[in-house]
């Protein structure tokens, strides 16, 4: 079943980098699915900090502007391109944010995020901030049954990233202790829950009593208010000065030096980002004397993401949804993210 041309649709477009005013609402033709693609009628759009980087720009990185941002979405299958099987119009689905070739060694080895042709929706190709989106059939999965569309739209990118960091890269094991920075952020709240499912002891940081209480409710065993206490001293106290096995890093310059001090001998630091800057001091003496590992991680595999969606179906993971806003208020949504005012995920409704 292939749909023909339809009327225009609303979407968010970034044509040049800058402030919130660079988020333009435009009308574009509803896309027609190509062979192997599925068209999804979008019901909810999940925002991530990646969206703010796309809008502001990153020194030394070129985004293919004009660009429709955002990587996460939930909706229903609307039309099938030629050759697509395994789904039908009306199926409730989530969009998987990583697009790869599907044919190379990395893809066929289950590490499609290492594909040389890997793209993240909304970063290096048009994303999900639109009323309709066409994606490869491999990039949809059944929506977890118990979740609303806004809840389901808020999980894929951050849980996929956190899972790859903790399970694949850091190899966190039951009985180990992990420090998770910014435990109410998107990836942080996912990491707290995943570490808990794995049987680890979770120490998390958050800013302020309200955020600390929410992180505790997610399953963290100890929560440190980094605004009121030195997280390094607190970690040393909680671990009897031994330190943690794993640090879950994504903050960068503001926390990296302290994170390294929190690691016990043989510890692993895994990072997926640097929201406060990426130029960090590093003593190689500490790295080799303490047998430390510093691990980078970006995204994760589609196979792991399908495992995560099953865990949501089983009720073992949950969403942290803070705000739902109409797509016309995308500027306010970005402001909430940048000001760290949202106590959880922000979702747009087209």
Indicate if 118 and 196 belong to the same structural domain. no
Indicate if 30 and 80 belong to the same structural domain. yes
- Given a cut of 70, whether residue 151 has pLDDT beyond it is yes
Indicate if 129 and 199 belong to the same structural domain. no
Using DSSP's 3-state secondary structure scheme, residue 191 falls into helix
pLDDT recorded at residue 5: 52
pLDDT recorded at residue 2: 46
**Overall domain count for the chain:** 2
- Structural domain contains residue 305: no
- Structural domain contains residue 330: yes
Indicate if 287 and 325 belong to the same structural domain. no
Nearest C-alpha neighbor of 298 from the set 128, 107, 111, 47: 111
Give me the percent of the chain exceeding a pLDDT of 90: 94
Indicate if 22 and 106 belong to the same structural domain. yes
- Structural domain contains residue 145: yes
Indicate if 286 and 206 belong to the same structural domain. yes
- Structural domain contains residue 1: no
Query: Is the pTM of the predicted complex or chain greater than 0.85?
Result: yes
Indicate if 178 and 251 belong to the same structural domain. yes
- Structural domain contains residue 251: yes
Indicate if 89 and 142 belong to the same structural domain. yes
Indicate if 284 and 174 belong to the same structural domain. yes
pLDDT recorded at residue 60: 87
Bridge partners (DSSP) listed for residue 224: 205
- Structural domain contains residue 111: yes
- Average pLDDT, integer, range 322-349: 95
According to DSSP H, which parts of the chain are helical? Answer: 49-56, 105-108, 149-152, 156-163, 186-198, 209-218, 231-238, 256-262, 284-289, 302-313, 330-338
Answer for the pair 267, 290: CB distance below 8 angstroms, yes or no: yes
pLDDT recorded at residue 3: 47
- Average pLDDT, integer, range 18-41: 97
- pLDDT tens digits along 165-220: 999 999 999 999 999 999 999 999 999 999 999 999 999 999 999 999 999 999 99
pLDDT recorded at residue 342: 86
Q: What does R_g of the chain's alpha carbons equal in angstroms?
A: 20
- Given a cut of 50, whether residue 16 has pLDDT beyond it is yes
- Structural domain contains residue 301: no
- Given a cut of 70, whether residue 260 has pLDDT beyond it is yes
Indicate if 68 and 151 belong to the same structural domain. yes
Indicate if 216 and 112 belong to the same structural domain. no
Domain of residue 17 covers 8-155+319-349
- Structural domain contains residue 27: yes
CATH number at residue 45: 3.90.180.10
Indicate if 198 and 291 belong to the same structural domain. yes
Residue 89 main-chain phi, psi, to 5 deg: -60, 135
């Amino acid at each position: 079943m292939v749909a023909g041309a339809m009327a225009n649709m609303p979407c968010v477009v970034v044509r040049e980098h800058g402030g919130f005013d660079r988020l333009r609402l435009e009308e574009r033709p509803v896309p027609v699915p190509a062979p192997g693609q599925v068209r999804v009628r979008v019901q909810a759009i999940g925002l991530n900090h990646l969206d703010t980087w796309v809008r502001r720009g990153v020194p030394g990185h070129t985004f293919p502007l004009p660009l429709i941002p955002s990587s996460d979405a939930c909706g229903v299958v609307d039309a099938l391109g030629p050759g697509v099987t395994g789904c039908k119009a009306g199926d409730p689905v989530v969009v998987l944010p990583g697009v790869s070739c599907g044919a190379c060694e990395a893809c066929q080895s289950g590490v499609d995020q290492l594909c040389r042709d890997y793209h993240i929706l909304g970063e290096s190709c048009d994303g999900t901030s639109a009323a309709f989106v066409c994606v490869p059939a491999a990039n949809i999965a059944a929506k977890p049954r118990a979740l609303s569309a806004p809840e389901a739209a808020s999980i894929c990118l951050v849980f996929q990233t956190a899972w790859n960091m903790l399970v694949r890269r850091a190899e966190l094991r039951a009985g180990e202790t992990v420090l998770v920075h910014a435990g109410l952020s998107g990836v942080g709240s996912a990491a707290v829950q995943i570490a808990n499912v794995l049987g680890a002891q979770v120490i998390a940081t958050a800013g302020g009593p309200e955020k600390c209480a929410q992180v505790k409710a997610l399953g963290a065993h100890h929560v440190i208010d980094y605004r009121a206490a030195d997280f390094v001293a607190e970690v040393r106290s909680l671990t009897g000065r031994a330190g943690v096995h794993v640090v879950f890093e994504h903050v960068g310059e503001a926390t990296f030096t302290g994170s390294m001090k929190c690691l016990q001998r043989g510890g692993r630091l895994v990072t997926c980002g640097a929201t406060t800057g990426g130029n960090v001091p590093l003593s190689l003496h500490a790295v080799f004397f303490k047998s430390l590992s510093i691990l980078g991680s970006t995204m994760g595999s589609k196979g792991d993401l399908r495992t995560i969606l099953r865990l949501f179906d089983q009720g073992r993971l949950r969403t942290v949804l803070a705000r739902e806003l109409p797509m016309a208020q995308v500027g306010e949504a970005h402001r909430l993210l940048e000001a760290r005012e949202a106590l959880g995920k922000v979702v747009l409704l087209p």
